[in-house]
A and B are shown apart, each in its own frame.
Chain A
Amino acid sequence: MFEPVRDSWLNIALIFMAIFISILVLAAIHSSPPQFKRILTVVVVFFAGLYFPVEFYIPRHNFLTPFRDSVSNLVQVLAAFTFGLGVVNLVLIHGRHVLRRTTNLPFSLAFFAGFLLMTVVGFIQRYSPQLWAKKAGSGQVVFWEGMHKLLFEGMLLPLTSTVFSLLAFFIVSAAYRAFRIRTLEAGLLMAAAIIVMLANVPVGTWLTSWLPAEGWLKWLRLENAAIWLTTQINAPTQRAILFGLWVGALGAALRIWLSLERTFAAGGR
């Protein structure tokens, strides 16, 4: 809808002007009476929620279609704003720990160190990779690119993988405590769990690999039994749950759109 500005300085000026106007508008809304804020929220939510279904259900290329890209851009900008909110929130929480020197101080310092290091290195690597760095020879990488690789692949990847892999220990511990066969239903669940768990690893397939691959006996092979359980028992159940879930989601969306959801429209009152 709008042509991008070619002049980079004018572009930067426009960005700052947009940020300044956004802050002014947000400050004005913030200082307005609660009743006005409520009406504004209801009106904005109603029209924003109206756009997509109306544009979609009226046959293609209607009067709303030319605005589709602009609305899509707006959604992207709003999504990008949530990142900013996340950063502000983290900085506020950890900044409080640092200023008050609480027991969480070391963790908050670790957060600031990691956050600043990753941000600075990421920006330099992206926008000015030659900054203060020697020219890389053949088979070498520029300092900032190497640094980014070290932080991303050498630190972030193993750290998050380590945290995620802790789940294995908790799941085994929880399964050991929870899977007690006290009823018939628990017994059936256990039988299905054993088949699926074993079929999901080569040990399971090896255990029943002596059974014929064709004929009715093939269904006794663990991998086939697991597929049968997943596609014939699990899939219809999941489908039923999904139907219920999405009908519920539609109802919830309608309530939000029409501002009938009290926690949302009345600010939790």
Chain B
Amino acid sequence: MEQIAQWLAKFQSIDRRIIYLCVSIAIALPFIVTIRLPVIPTLPTQKFYEAVEKVPKGKVVLIAADFDTGTEGENGPQVQAVLEHLMRRRIPFVIIGLAIQGPQLVQNYADRLAKKYGYRYGQDYVNLGYITGGQPALERFCRSIWQMIPKDAKGTPLSEIPLMRKVRSANDIGLVAEFTGAGLLGYYIQTFWGQFKVPLAQGCTGIIGPEQFPYLATGQLSGLMVGLKGAAEYEALLNLRREGYRRMMPQSMGHITALLLIFLGNLGMWLTYRRRQIRRL
């Protein structure tokens, strides 16, 4: 018994290389063995879904792609799920981004999905590209999109894009869906929500999720999708099993490994403490 306790006590100082190996194996395992577990949508994600459902006819949705390739793992599946929902409802959308790579990434997703739903660039969706200048630039965008961005990301004048003929200011936008891994929500609350009362919904990375909940409680956010779990939940609401769901299994295993290692570390610490106490007696 003493020998087992001695062996278990070693778990309080596991070499970091062993930890890395455990995490690698845990994350890789679901790619080899198929594991299916239920995803139950939570209230914040359901609210996001309902916000898209409530977009009035004749208005467009603004997709604010404020993320880059670093957080694509979480934000990517979120945007794809929302784009799929928009296309199912035949809602046109406009892409912008306060991050350089975001609009390009979202357009790639939109181009892929467009083939399935018969969406056409210029008619049903437009990419206005990267916006520099932060909050003042967004404020100007709200007042006059045409003055702020006279050409789309491809360099086509907005006057030649059929969809943009009916989209002139924030009053023509039915919902702003922001996807980000950074704290840029304040800019949108100060402009779209604060001055034009355009509903906002956000898809954020898991790490900044807790910071966004106060805005959901106040009603400044109509919906919130947190992390990869949020994407998987949105897919569940759409009866889909795409990237969000697929990536959930490696994340599940990663979380379990982390909890297991924390438990072993505490067990090792507790056994060492107990042995010391026994020796003193």
Contact = CB atoms under 8 A, between A and B. Distances in A.
Contacts of A100: none
Given A179-B265, A202-B248, A230-B210, A172 B23 contact: yes
A71 interface: yes
A138 interface: no
Interface in B213-236: 213-214, 216-217, 226-227, 229, 232
Contacts of A236: 214
Contacts of A180: 265-266, 269
A172 B257 CA distance: 8
SS of A interface (majority) = helix
A238 interface: yes
Given A201-B252, A230-B210, A157 B69 contact: yes
Given A79-B133, A173-B19, A168 B254 contact: yes
B238 interface: no
Nearest to A52: B136
A234 interface: yes
Contact of B261 (A172, A181, A235): A172
Interface stretch (A108-116, A158-166, A254-262): A158-166
A206 B139 CA distance: 45
B255 A198 contact: yes
Interface stretch (B39-47, B58-66, B86-94, B164-172): B39-47
B42 A227 contact: yes
Given A72-B139, A169-B20, A164 B256 contact: no
B69 A172 contact: no
B266 A156 contact: no
A54 interface: no
A169 B211 contact: no
A79 B134 contact: yes
Contact of B206 (A163, A179, A198, A200): A200
Identify the 3 closest CB pairs spanning chains A and B, nearest first: A202-B37, A76-B133, A201-B252
